[in-house]
Structure 1
Amino acid sequence: MKIELEEFKRLRRGLKYISDLSGFNYPRGMLFTILTQKKVDQVKQDYGKVCTRLEELSNFWSTHKKIPAWVRLTPMMRVRLLLKALEYTKREIRDSLNDPERIDDADLRRLIWRSVFTDYIYSPIAVKHQFARGRLGELIIEKWLDSRDITYKTEKDLRKESIKTPDFYFSDPIQINGFEINWIESKALFGDPRTHWIYWKKQFSKYLDLFGQGFVVYWFGRIKELDKNVKVWEEEFFRDKLMQNLLDMKIYTLGIKGKSRQEIMKTLRKFSISSVFEVGDVDTGLEKEMDVDVVHLDFESPYSKEFIQAVGRVIDAYSKGRVILLGQSRDWRKCKRRNLSLTLRNMGFKVFHLR
């Protein structure tokens, strides 16, 4: 999807919070990506300024048990710098963010948990989401190449041979729509001028020098006026149903109490579900009758390492296809689906509660 530069600027100005994703007539995945790239730019601008005031930050926390308003960063980055100000080591910071229950200070522990559940860019859950989006884009290209029996090397294969490695490299150049190319780079990003320029300097120009002509795919759209030093291919070219997964960011949930197995199976087929998560005391046995991955999830409390891992497993499955969470209660707010649903929504997903 291509839009004018002025339209991109309008969207970027209007997107401030996750709740704003419903306010524009564009795919959710595209809007979410523009929002996250905007927030990352803001963090890059403000991070260094906060680092010069760590002692002030530490003193404010000791007195008020909260982070001062002048720390204008995302929740997780605010916490990370607070821990640094409190003289935690890098390893202690990493371990604390991955498992907040190891923190003795109750106020600090609550703050970290809140950051884990709400930061859609830098929390451990958000990082999982970013990886899943990137993997989904690569999977679409892999399927397209495999269906045409095109031989390729992946970034992993190439790391032994070169420092700068595109996602897909062709030892023998291939023809696509009249263009001969040697590589493809998959970007789970929106191609705005700044992002494109950064990756031109870091990657694209190096690929052209090392491997010859190739092209880039921006899965979440781009502006029309991008620099033409490297070919940018339209994401619609690949026409895979997984693309819709990237763009609409939908995850489904369903309460199965009172439903027959046939009714549940009908729902899974209707929404092309590939991964089923049985939450809590659910055991459908669907894996015996359908070609779907069935995973059982359970956790004592959302404030646990097990819960973070459970959300991560759901997001991992999203990188392969449609996902549904099954619980007993028809009311999603009265079972463990609630915790999963709210956290996924905070990460930018559109969670649909089916009846």
Structure 2
Amino acid sequence: MVDVQLGKLWCASSDFKNLKMMKIELYDKIYDCVSKYALFDSRSCRSMLKEKFPEVPDCALGGIMSLYYQRQMKFTLNKKLSKINQLYTRYKNAVEAGERPGILLRMAQEIEVCPSLLARAILEKHFEAKDENGKEVSRSYISGLMKDANLIKNHVLSYEVYLCVLHDEEYGPISNAINHSIGVEYELKLQRLVRDLKIPFHDENHLRASGYDKTPDVKLEIPIAIDGFIVNWIESKASFGDEESHKGILKKQLLSYVNRFGSGMVIYWFGYVDRITQDNGKQIIIRNSFPADVILMNPKCIDPSVDEYNL
């Protein structure tokens, strides 16, 4: 029996009471510890981080570890899989030699590649542009095999791919499903909190139906004020926010929201580094939870002779 404990689940069930804005010095120490640990031995790395930084919530530790792994793959994957012919030959030789199951998992750990990414590369090499019935294959066909390894007729390769998907905490169908589920969970949590305040809003589905291509998770129909800051929209991020990731989100999403809807707020539910609050000017505020000190607009306080809202 394979023992699997996907680390991303710790983020969904973590206690956020002690979650605070993280000083850059502490973040650097955690990131450095992850970088010196055996890459993608995530379970052992997670245990080490929890022991070394007991004051930091699990969700923040997991978020930082995930950011590091993703960046390593972004910059090294093509190089590490450039010798896929040798890797495939090595895999076939191991099968012929009768090695115990988990061949691809051990190879992935040795060359420091996420198991699902190695499994996909081996699958593509195995089919060489044709399936087991002689038909040409596509990327979507390979993706289907990754989602359901039972469709792979070679039973040894089927089980090897299954193990890689099962053990991969950063990539692959299971990890993607968990990420999506956690993201939706916090979007719904945000909507519930806004709804409890009886603030009318539109979600991203409604906005897209209205023709917007880039949409925040919540667009408030009536603005709110937080610490003297006007909030027109709110974006939910079930992740940890550091400088590099926040800059990417600013460029791809948040600045377009500002251009369309005005100032707003992003919530990093798993925490963020204090330094990212320095470059947002007066257009975006950052929080790690939904603020308690929300000021709602009181229509009774609106002076009809003045074309402004009194909050």
In the superposition, the TM-score normalised over structure 2's length comes to 0.70
**Paired residues of 1:46 and 1:72 also in contact (CA < 8 A):** no
1:151 aligns with 2:170: no
Q: 2:73 aligns with which of 23, 26, 43?
A: 43
Amino acid at match of 2:279: K
Q: 1:234 aligns with which of 287, 290, 293?
A: 287
Separation of aligned partners in 2, 1:7 and 1:37: 16
Separation of aligned partners in 2, 1:198 and 1:73: 23
Residues 281-296 of structure 1 correspond to what in structure 2 (within 5 A)? none
Counterpart of 1:184? 234
1:213 aligns with 2:253: no
Q: 1:135 aligns with which of 166, 170, 184?
A: 184
Q: 1:165 aligns with which of 190, 215, 219?
A: 215
**Paired residues of 1:141 and 1:238 also in contact (CA < 8 A):** no
Equivalenced residue count is 239
Counterpart of 1:307? none
1:72 aligns with 2:112: yes
Aligned-CA RMSD value: 2.1
Q: 2:166 aligns with which of 102, 117, 126?
A: 117
Task: Please give the per-residue CA displacement for 1:38-90, whole angstroms capped at 9, x wherever unaligned.
Answer: 11111111222245333333333333344556742111111011112222531
**Paired residues of 1:47 and 1:73 also in contact (CA < 8 A):** yes
1:200 aligns with 2:225: no
Percent identity over the alignment?
Answer: 27
Amino acid at match of 1:72: E
**Paired residues of 2:149 and 2:158 also in contact (CA < 8 A):** yes
**Paired residues of 1:144 and 1:238 also in contact (CA < 8 A):** no
Separation of aligned partners in 2, 1:97 and 1:158: 33
3-state DSSP class of the match of 1:159? Answer: helix
Separation of aligned partners in 2, 1:238 and 1:140: 13
- 1:113 Cα offset (Å): 1.7
- 1:212 Cα offset (Å): 1.0
Structure 1 residues 50 and 92, CA gap change in structure 2 (3 angstroms): farther
- 1:238 Cα offset (Å): 4.5
Separation of aligned partners in 2, 1:159 and 1:92: 29
Separation of aligned partners in 1, 2:140 and 2:190: 37
- 1:231 Cα offset (Å): 2.7
Separation of aligned partners in 1, 2:167 and 2:197: 42
Separation of aligned partners in 2, 1:222 and 1:238: 15
Task: Please give the per-residue CA displacement for 1:206-226, whole angstroms capped at 9, x wherever unaligned.
Answer: 111121111111111111111
3-state DSSP class of the match of 1:150? Answer: coil
3-state DSSP class of the match of 2:254? Answer: helix
Counterpart of 2:82? 52
Counterpart of 2:309? none
In the superposition, the TM-score normalised over structure 1's length comes to 0.62
Counterpart of 1:20? 45
1:103 aligns with 2:128: no
**Paired residues of 1:84 and 1:93 also in contact (CA < 8 A):** yes
- 1:104 Cα offset (Å): 2.4
Counterpart of 2:9? none
Counterpart of 2:303? none
3-state DSSP class of the match of 2:235? Answer: strand
Structure 1 residues 131 and 143, CA gap change in structure 2 (3 angstroms): same
Amino acid at match of 2:67: Q
Greater Cα shift, 210-219 or 131-140: 131-140
Task: Please give the per-residue CA displacement for 1:302-328, whole angstroms capped at 9, x wherever unaligned.
Answer: xxxxxxxxxxxxxxxxxxxxxxxxxxx
**Paired residues of 1:76 and 1:123 also in contact (CA < 8 A):** yes
1:7 aligns with 2:26: yes
- 1:125 Cα offset (Å): 1.9
Amino acid at match of 2:33: G
Amino acid at match of 1:9: D
Separation of aligned partners in 1, 2:77 and 2:229: 43
